[in-house]
Amino acid sequence: MSIVKSFSVGNGDMFYIKHGSDNFTICDVCLSEDKKDEIVGEIKSQKQGKNITRFISTHPDEDHFHGLEYLDDKIDILNFYCVKNEVIKEDKTRDFLRYCKLRDDLKKVFYLEKGCSRKWMNQNGKDNNDMDRGNSGINILWPITTNEYYKDALKNAEKGESTNNISIIMKYSLNSGPAMIWLGDLESDFMEKIKDEIIMEKVDILFAPHHGRNTGKVPESWLKKINPKIIIIGEAPSEDLNYYEGYDKISQNSAGDITLECDTGKVHIYVSNKYYSVDFLSNEYMNTFSNYIGTLNL
């Protein structure tokens, strides 16, 4: 069993995965002053007992690393995963400077690209005490660093332009359980350019890119292959969102925090807004967390 949580952080993204193995993964960070203690406190509590903790940066944009300095100071990030880059920014915030420090620390960084493998991320392996830590079921589908469109996007980002299109595509899957996919802040026109470069597979839950905006609408050819049972739409302004007609979805604007309790053949779903509900889930009367809204059977 594992727990996947998507925090409601406004215009930004922040997730964690509490794996069934000896692993804990944080993906992106976006901390406001009024919630940073609560969120980091929860992360510290949830990762207790896990000996492998990694931080995955989907891409170096402020709404995906805001609060990184605070988080790093509190938990001491030892494993920092990101795409290899030399991105610069005119506004050198303390969080961007901490991103750069971690990105450039060869003792802490692991650079992500399609098909990369690493012990305990997607390979089993024993530690120095001969203990098997299992793995996290995380695989990277993008970027293909030799792709011309990606190289152009990286070159533009390193000149100070948008970093959206150097986002990774990350898939998480659980044995006999759900599969999920994240696409960072990839933009629709860029995804159209690379749609034939990636072999998309069916997953159960899709986190809509670019916070669910129209500008990040997933190409139809990918949607048909992914065929998600649920699309989770982020917290962009409602007038900017694409609601993916024809698909079951959960809107974080209304649901608040979303917690996915992943088990064999099913996902129990909880939200922080006690008034939020959907009509496409089964009721298995779960109470591991507050505000259970139903179960997705796979």
Q: What is the per-residue DSSP string for 80-134?
A: EEE-------SS--HHHHHHHHHHT-TTTEEE--TT---BTTTB--B-TTS-B--
CATH for 46? 3.60.15.10
CA angle 42, 294, 258 (to 5 degrees): 30
Residue 271, token pair as written in the block: 């939200």
SS3 250: strand
pTM attached to this predicted model = 0.96
**Residues 141, 146, 147, 149: is their CA dihedral positive or negative?**
positive
Residue 34 has what pLDDT? 93
DSSP letter (8 states) at residue 213: B
In this prediction, residue 134 carries a pLDDT of: 85
pLDDT of residue 250: 98
CA 47/CA 22 separation, integer angstroms: 9
How many structural domains does the chain have? 1
Check residue 230 and give its pLDDT: 98
Domain housing 194: 2-297
Kindly write down the DSSP assignment for every residue of 30-73, as one continuous string. E--TTTHHHHHHHHHHHTTT-SEEEEE-SS--HHHHETHHHHHH
pLDDT for the residue 242: 95
Which pLDDT score is estimated for 130?
73
Which of 202, 235, 227 is closest to 15 using CA atoms? 235
Which residue ranges of the chain lie beneath pLDDT 70? none
List 207's β-bridge partners, or say none: 182, 232
Q: Pick from 16, 13, 18: which is nearest to 30 by CA?
A: 13
